[in-house]
Amino acid sequence: MSAALRHVFLASLRRRRLATALSLLAIGLGVTLGLAVQLINSAALEELGRGMRLLAGEADLQVVGPRGGFDDALYPALAQRSEVRVASPVLEIEARLPDHEGETLRILGIDLFRAARVTPLLRMEVETPEGASDERRDQLAPLRPDNLFLSPAAADRLGLAVGDRLEVQVGVRAVALQVAGSVPDADQALAVMDIAGAQQVFERIGVITRIDLRLAPGVSRAVAQQRLNDELPPGVAAMTPAESESEVLGLSRAYRVNLTMLAAIALLTGAFLVFSAQWLSVVRRRSELAFLRALGLDRAALRRGLLVEGGALGLLGGLLGVVVAYLLTALAFRVIGGDLGAGFFRGVSPELHFAPVLTAVYLSLAVLAGLAGAWLPAREAARMIPARALRSGDEAEAYRAAPRWGLVVAILAVAGALCLLPPLGGVPVFGYLAVLLILVGAVLALPGATPRALALLRPGRSTPWRLAKARLTAAPGQVLIAGAGIVASAALAVSMAIMVFSFRGSVDDWLTQLLPADLYVRASDSSASGYLDPDAVSRVAALPGVERVRPVRFETLRLGEARRAVTLIARPVQRSSGLPLVAGMQRPGWVGDGARPAWISEALADRFGLAVGDPLALPLRGEADPFRVAGIWRDYARQQGAVVIELDDYRALTGDLRTNDLGLFLAEGVAPEAVMAAIRDALGERVSEMILPGELRTMILEVFDRTFLVTYLMEAVAVLIGLFGVSTTFAALATSRRKELGILRHLGLRRRQIGALLAREAALTAGVGLAVGLAAGGAIALVLVEVINRQSFHWSMDLRLPIGVLVAFGLSLILLSALAAHLAGRQAMRQDAVVAVREDW
């Protein structure tokens, strides 16, 4: 069989080069994109995770709380517990560096005596400046509050050497620290200093952000964790390093899953192309295959041979894809960094490694796609009765396709039901399955839809028109073969277009609502060490031209049993504007049942199963303060969830008067530029950042577009390959019908009319395929918006149709198909029609 396999089956791939090349390309594309996304992400994640693991050192548990930290009295209490062998307190600061264009530096304030036993990689090494005598080494340097120790990566990034001074921002002040040495074992960009110094310098006396715990010998981690979590104050949690890691990594998971799914879609397109190509090839080789059967090739061997063709396509395409994926990944690391421009992995510099498992998985997926595409044609070929197929003129058999409405309805019903299921582990698996089923259902609907669609058309007068209609009505299988690719590409392109269009529009609206002020001022990113104190706020508010200001304070809290991190936003709500509510009220009627109002984001509502009116305990000061959900708002910025409360409530409960962002409403006719200049004078240019809402909006939409750029590109390539596939399909169809077309020529049809006939068939096929594809695309878009986005990111959006784009897309698809078929027909008719009829094997 092996010789026959090589010369008869595999060799056929070489004979239809274009179709083979396109199938390879589509499968290769799917593998490239899928694997590249995975490689880039897994390298970035691995790097991020490794960094976190290194920093967690030998800690068995890490006690964490709000981002702003928790009472450091917890440290001696925990350190003395019998379960704990060593406790190591950490105060982590993301310090804004006014002299480095607002860049931030991660500073870990540690107790070196403790860290040495838990996180030895944070060892500080005292160094003397170049040229200075070693004898002058200050052994107490690691304890001095104004000394900083830089990891080699940080020293490199900031261009600093031992003895240099580095200014860090505290509020709107700049404080100078001295580089006293290195953190030689840390390979990330970070700095270490004494915890007491960090508390003093950054005005965080009494606060730490983490306690790393090593447990006493024989103490079970699970038991200790449970016991600690029972006793820790609300909002503070003991987590395993793996949990902390997955909490951080989890943020980007939905994004990664979605990119991976797009890659799967490209693979699917590849499978469709393999299907079309194989089906046509089987039709054309019908008598050859029958003859082989007569020679004694059994059905199983025939099926195997045809499947091997598909598998070989998959394998070759897969190999191609793997090679390109690695090249692309290497390039991506060099050019855009490890996050595909989405900003999840800032500051991580991953390296490309060969990933054998991942590579094998994608190779097998590619082979699977090839096999799946070849499956139906192989089954069909094995089914044929050789005696009949040996006679010529039997091709029409292959284009018979019965309408299968029952199956279509059943598949779509299952798809509908799948949409109602919850996600699996945060991944909308069933949503994706529903998308796949809709696609399959749409393709299966083609044979049934074709006669119906054709019946709707006016009876045409011209011969080619009537012939085309008759042909398609009698051989809906032809539509199935040629149209499957169109349906698939149209459905996917349309659904993505609708989804992205809806998403972008919703984000735009959301930004408009969320950014009502004329100008925004801040001292640093809300996660960094800058903030505006009340004095700075009142100075800004008093500037001429400023009518009023709206301060916002950001914090991260841990909520609920699982103590998951959510963002807290404290700002004026009821006396202000701009919460994009989807439920509840911005000004709730109720007052004074002891609970204060809170407005939660959709993600929070989803994750905690909260509805308007539900009570909500927020651990703002180490104890649970009662709130009540007054409304649910749409938030595209924080997948982990966010809660808005009144700034006055926050200040009353915590006594924290700091402001992160300050929105400025200007008096009529005041130019923001003048106010900006005044603010720079008032606060100091180095320690403040300002932005106009218009710029911010543009920036955010740019990020949005960049994030979806990959999507757009993949979509375009998939559609392009789909179209090429359609045109090769028509070319192949025309060739396989040379005899039929030859007869028509004998009957007196002119060459031009044959071309017109084929073009019309193609246009009709494309039209039917497009109609079905549009319907399927709409349905898939609905699933993407209502199920997949909702379940992956927990946000809703308003469905919008990009009518113009869809119309242009549809028209060009039909025209291109007609053109392709026309050209293919001319190619097929170049040979003498008489020869075509007489040739009879």
Residues of the shown chain interacting with another protein in the complex, contacts defined by CB under 8 A: 1-4, 7-8, 11-12, 15, 72-73, 76, 79-80, 89, 111-116, 123-124, 133, 135-145, 194-197, 199-200, 205-206, 287-288, 291-300, 385-387, 390, 392, 840-841
Q: Rounded distance, CA 48 to CA 829, Å? A: 61
Q: d(Cα 786, Cα 783) in Å, to the nearest integer?
A: 5
Q: What distance, in Å, lies between the first and last C-alpha atoms of the chain?
A: 24
From the CB of residue 22, how many other CB atoms can be counted at a distance below 10 Å? Answer: 27
**Among the residues of 420-462, which ranges form H helices?**
429-456
- Residue 376 beta carbon to another protein: minimum distance, rounded to whole angstroms: 20
Q: How far apart are CA 282 and CA 475, in angstroms?
A: 16
Phi, psi of 640 (to 5 degrees): -75, -10
Residue 384 DSSP SS3:
coil
Least gap, CB of 165 to another protein (angstroms): 18
- Min separation Cβ 186 and another protein, Å: 14
In whole angstroms, the minimum distance from the beta carbon of 492 to another protein comes to 36
The pair of structure tokens assigned to 812 is 């060009």
Residue 2 or 561 with smaller CB distance to another protein: 2
3-state helix, strand, coil in the chain (%, to 5): 60, 15, 25
Spatial distance between the Cα atoms of 94 and 267, rounded to a whole number of angstroms = 42
CB of 313 to another protein, least distance (A): 18
- Number of Cβ within 10 Å of residue 776's Cβ equals 26
Determine contact, residues 445/476, Cβ cutoff 8 Å: no
Alpha helices in 57-106 (DSSP H): 74-79
Q: Please, which residue, 205 or 591, has the CB nearer to another protein?
A: 205
| Cα 583 to the center of its chain, rounded Å | 27
- Choose among 68, 69, 79: nearest CA to 213: 79
Exposure b/e, 572-605, CB count within 10 A at least 16 = b: bbeebebbbeebbebebeeeeeebbbbbbbbbbb
Q: How far is the CB of 4 from another protein (least distance, A)?
A: 4
Task: Quote the tokens at residue 31.
Answer: 């593998």
DSSP string, 289-334: HHHHHHTT--HHHHHHHHHHHHHHHHHHHHHHHHHHHHHHHHHHHH
Nearest-approach distance from CB 767 to another protein, in angstroms? 36
The radius of gyration of the chain's CA atoms, rounded to the nearest angstrom, is 33
As a whole number of angstroms, the longest Cα–Cα distance in the chain is 107
Nearer to another protein by C-beta: 86 or 313? Answer: 86
**Of 495 and 529, which CB lies nearer to another protein in the complex structure?**
529
Decide whether 386 or 580 has the Cβ nearer to another protein.
386
For residue 315, the minimal CB distance to another protein (Å) is 22
Quick one: three-class SS letters along 787-813?
HHHHHHHCCCCCCCCCHHHHHHHHHHH
Burial of residue 809 (CB within 10 Å: 0-12, 13-18, 19+) is buried
Pairing label, strands 147-150, 173-182: parallel
Q: At what angle do helices 693-736 and 803-829 cross, to 10 degrees?
A: 20
Nearer to another protein, 291 or 665 (CB): 291
Least distance from C-beta 393 to another protein, angstroms?
Answer: 12
CB closer to another protein, 286 vs 550: 286
Q: In this complex, which beta carbon is closest to another protein, that of residue 20 or of residue 727? A: 20
User: Which one, 14 or 458, has the nearer CB to another protein?
Assistant: 14
Residue 84 beta carbon to another protein: minimum distance, rounded to whole angstroms = 10
Closer residue to another protein (CB): 120 or 626: 120
CB of 63 to another protein, least distance (A): 16
Min dist. Cβ of residue 312 to another protein (A): 16
In whole angstroms, how close is the CB of 215 to another protein at the nearest point?
A: 15
**Pick 113 or 590: Cβ nearer another protein:** 113
Q: Which residue has the tokens 């009627």?
A: 589
CB of 88 to another protein, least distance (A): 11
